Amino acid sequence: MRIATWNVNSITARLPRLLAWLESSGTDVLCLQETKCTAEQFPHDELRELGYEAAVNANGRWNGVALLSKVGLEDVVMGLPGGPDYDGVQEPRAVSATCGPARVWSVYVPNGREVGHAHYAYKLGWFEALKTAVAEDAAGARPFAVLGDYNVAPTDEDVWDPAVFVDSTHVTPAERAALTALREAGLSDVVPRPLKYDRPYTYWDYRQLAFPKNRGMRIDLVYGNAPFAKAVSDAYVDREERKGKGASDHAPVVVDLDVQG
């Protein structure tokens, strides 16, 4: 079973590349973030032609998540149970479902904007709610994973130059402590380092030639429980999909599981 996560930074803008990648990659389940569309605008028909069902939590031009599956979508949950609002709104940042033998979440963790901003406090509260919401599944016997854009680099090795990020979001002790707390709920980072190259970043800014210079961050993560981690047979960041015209600023992260569906 091949499962992946990808912040597409607008599914409308990225649709031709998404469809081509799904056809070539052999992915069974794909977690999408930052779809930037309404549920009505989501390209269900095009994806159905490739054999994918979709569970979509989206409401407009910002945020938005989805799960695409060729192996079934059952027990779908929209949103983060117990999650905080921002400006009185429950943002569409999570969707979960059972896909064949695994239970999967697609998450788009709040950015935080800047330390001290209300969005930063919202981000930390969102992490706390996520830890509570996934605890039961994380402790279970079924393969379970939370995939997505976490908007946190777990260590200084996960950013191209730690000095550039001093006092910025994505690397603060509080954000990294939130990741530690999530792992303590029974999850681990199942994408090893190094992979097939040094510094396996997943995000590169569009500006200042960040991708050609490999000035990136590893913020797209796959956190799985023990049965999920045990089943992992391979994992990689598809850097090729970050290249060329019309690319997202994130690359897909792909994990292969040796499980029986």
How many CB atoms lie under 10 A from the CB of residue 73?
20
Using one digit for the tens of pLDDT, what is the confidence trace for 132-181? Answer: 999 999 999 999 999 999 999 999 999 999 999 998 999 999 999 999 99
> Domain 2-257, what fold?
Deoxyribonuclease I; Chain A (3.60.10)
pLDDT of amino acid 198: 60
Q: What is the mean pLDDT of the chain?
A: 95
CA distance 190 to 147: 10
151 assigned to a ligand binding site: yes
CB 226 within 8 A of CB 162: no
Minimum mean pLDDT among 101-105, 118-122, 197-201: which range? 197-201
pLDDT score at 61? 80
Q: What is the mean pLDDT of residues 121-125?
A: 98
Tokens 């091949």 sit at which residue? 2
The answer to whether residues 7 and 220 touch, using CB atoms and an 8 Å cutoff, is yes
Q: What pLDDT, on the 0 to 100 scale, is given for residue 211?
A: 96
pTM of the model as a whole:
0.96
Q: State pLDDT tens for residues 222-261.
A: 999 999 999 999 999 999 999 999 999 999 999 999 997 6
CB atoms within 10 A of CB 124: 16
Alpha carbons 149 and 129: distance in angstroms, whole number = 16
pLDDT the model gives residue 104: 98
Residues linked to residue 145 through DSSP beta bridges, in sequence order: 104, 224
Where residue 193 falls among pLDDT bands split at 50, 70, 90?
low
**Which pLDDT does position 260 carry in this prediction?**
75
57 labeled part of a ligand binding site: no
Q: What pLDDT is recorded for position 60?
A: 87
Check the annotation: does 205 bind a ligand: no
Q: Is 63 assigned to a binding site?
A: no
Confidence of residue 199 (pLDDT cuts 50, 70, 90): low
* Neighbour tally for 57: CB within 10 Å: 25
Domain ranges for the chain: 2-257
Q: What is the DSSP string of 173-221?
A: HHHHHHHHHHHHTT-EE-S-SS-SSSS---EE-SSTTTTTTT-EE--EE
Question: pLDDT tens digits, residue range 8-22?
Answer: 999 999 999 999 999
Q: Is 34 annotated in some ligand binding site?
A: yes
Catalytic positions are 108, 149, 250
